[in-house]
Amino acid sequence: MPLFALLVEFVIRPEAMAGFLPLMLENAALSLRDEPGCRQFDVLTAPDDPNRIVLYEIYDDQQAFDAHLASDHFKRFAAATGDMIASRSLRRLVLIGPDDNAAARNRA
């Protein structure tokens, strides 16, 4: 079964970035630590667009992502940051490589 991946982009209100970033990093760390189905959770930004935060997340499957959304730490993060976010987009993806195991998972 293919791994389930997400590309999430947030535009954060400039005055809220100092409060948002620690909460985002905590959410990512707790996801990796506490969710067995969360394989990767990267938090990125670009120097020329400091109010845009990009997440790259990989889960075992849709059910693992659903468990992430149901977790207490995600619910706390969502409640605390809702007013900090100017816009958000989410794109669901399937990991196809380049590692050798990705191709085999996709055939399963």
Q: Where are the domains of the chain?
A: 1-53
Cβ neighbours of 34 (radius 10 Å): 13
> Quick one: pLDDT at residue 102?
52
Report the distance separating Cα 35 and Cα 57, nearest Å.
12
Predicted confidence at residue 101, as pLDDT, reads: 57
Cβ-in-10-Å burial (0-12, 13-18, 19+) of 24 comes to buried
Res. 107: pLDDT tops 70: no
Residue with token string 């667009």: 49
Residue 87 has pLDDT above 80, yes or no: yes
Q: How far apart are CA 67 and CA 61, in angstroms?
A: 10
Q: Each residue of 13-60: pLDDT tens digit?
A: 999 999 999 999 999 999 999 999 999 999 999 899 999 999 999 999
d(CA 106, CA 1) in angstroms, rounded, equals 5
